[in-house]
Structures are given as C-alpha cells and as structure tokens.
Structure 1
Amino acid sequence: MFNKMIVAIDGSDMSAKALEAAVHLAKEQQAELSILHVGREAVVTTSSLTGIVYVPEHFIEEIRGEVKKEGLNILEKAKEQAAENDIQAETIYAQGEPAHEILNTAKEKSASLIVVGSRGISGLKEMMLGSVSHKVSQLSPCPVLIVR
C-alpha cells in the first residue's frame, strides 16, 4: 500500500516517536524510507529603538553552518536507528519553512505516505503560526500519519 514514505524529524521527542512509527511501517510495508530534517533559516528582527539591526554576513553564515551541522547529526542518528531495524533509509537535509519543505520533498519523491510528529520543538511560535503537522495534513497530496 505505501511504497515510498517520508518521515520528518526535528530532534524532538515527538519526532522520535514519528521515526519509530515510520521505521516500523517501512519494514512492514517493505517501503522505501526517506528521513527529512528541515533546518530553519536564520531570522533577523529590527530593534524597537533604532529600527535597524546590523548582523555581519559571516555571523549569519556561521549560524547557518551550525544549524546544518546539528541537522546532519540528527539525520545520522535517525539513519542508524533505521539500520538497527534492517531499514536502509535515505537522509535528506533541507533548509526553509518546514511544512513547505516537507510537501516539496514528498512531491519530488512521489511519496505515498508522510509521517510527522504532532508537535515539534517550536513552542509558542507554533501556536501563533499553526503547526507544521496541521499545514502538512491540509496541503498534502498523499496520506499523512500524525504521531502523538
């Protein structure tokens, strides 16, 4: 039924549960599994006092590098967990808005199932802007499993 699955992880406890469910399903369905991590872009805000904030370009690049390094580490651990369960998973690192990147990756990979955790690590921002899992479930062309 599901031959190509994508699981989106962010290092949270909920994404660990999503990974566990995806690995189990991939094994059961004999499906290809892609593990996706989306690193968020660095955000610069303005000062209420001056209205202008100067952030050196090298500092922004350093932040992006650290975000990517952390993301690749999360992916490597997830790949090892899949391998322990006899699943050879592909890992994908993307950068941008998580719901958008998850949906783009699902489309590119012709995914038959997307697996996500019900909540990630974004906290208050998630409540204000809407959860990634909600956006993905509303806009996905394929079934979405939201793991709690």
Structure 2
Amino acid sequence: MYNRILVALDGSQTSEKALKSALQFANERYSKVAVIHVKKNINIYETMSSEVVDEMYAEMKQEADKLFDHARALAEEFGIEIETHYVIGEPAILIVKMAEEGNFQLIVMGSRGLGGIKGLMLGSVSQKVSQLSHCPVLIVK
C-alpha cells in the first residue's frame, strides 16, 4: 500500500519518533524510506562577507548531515537503507514538493517541531503539509 515513505526530520523529539514509526512501518511492509530535512533560508545582509555567508550555509549542512547520520544508524537497526534529501526554503512546500516529485505514498512527520511560539503563530509545518499534500500524512505525537 505504501511502497515509498517520506519522513520529515527537523531534529526535534517528535521528528525522531516519526522516523522510528516510519522505519517500523516500512520494515513490516518492505517499503522504501527517504528522509528530508528542510532548513529555512537565512537572511543575508549587505554587510555580511561572502565568507560569513558560506560559513553559515556550511553549518546548516553540517546540522543536516548529523541528522542524516543518526537517521541512517536508526534505519540500520531495522535493516533499512534510506535516501536523504537536504533542501533550503519553505519547509511545508518543499516537503510536499518532494513527496509529489518522488512519488511517495505517505509522509510521516512529528506533530511539533522546533518552531516554538513562532510556529504557533504562523501555523505548524505539519498542519500545512497535511493541507497541501496529495498523499496521506501520518503525524506522530
């Protein structure tokens, strides 16, 4: 039924629970799993040097790599090999776009990420994904 599962990771506890749930589900059904980490674009000011900007992007990529290493280690425990995707931009839109372009049949994500108060005021990413997605969305608490 769900041969391809996309898991959204942001480093929060609920996204880790979502990953574990997706891996268990995939293991039981022989599904393929991909993980996406979306980082919001940074504000770049004229006074910033290109070295500072490059360093900021490198730090963002290192954070994603750490998440992916952890995700691969968890997946290995289930005997599953995962593919990883790191993108920069609007999280909800890019998660849905990846799901559509990759022909994923299920998106799994945590109910609350690292957004805090700002996330509450703007609406959560999981809520936006569930509204925009072409496929089912499993939101893990």
Please indicate the TM-score interval, normalised by the length of the shorter structure: over 0.9
Partner of 2:72: 79
- Listed as ranges, the matches of 1:93-108 within 5 Å are 93-108=86-101
Counterpart secondary structure, 1:36: strand
> Retained in 2: the 8 A contact 1:133–1:146?
yes
When the two structures are superposed, what TM-score results if normalisation uses the length of structure 2? 0.94
- Give a deviation string over 1:48-85, Cα, whole Å, max 9, x none: xxxxx722232122111101111111111101101111
Match of 2:3 in 1: 3
Partner of 1:116: 109
Say if 2:123 is the partner of 1:130. Answer: yes
**Structure index of larger Rg:** 1
Distance 2:113 2:15 in 1: 7
Partner of 1:13: 13
Q: Which runs of 5 or more structure 1 residues have no equivalent in the other structure?
A: 46-52
* Residues matched between the structures, number: 141
* Aligned-residue offset at 1:44: 4.7
Residue in 2 that maps onto 1:49? none
Contact 1:17 1:147 in 2 (8 A): yes
TM-score by length of 1: 0.90
Give the fraction of aligned pairs with identical amino acids, expressed as a percent.
43
CA RMSD of aligned residues (A): 1.3
One-letter amino acid of the structure 2 residue matched with residue 20 of structure 1: K
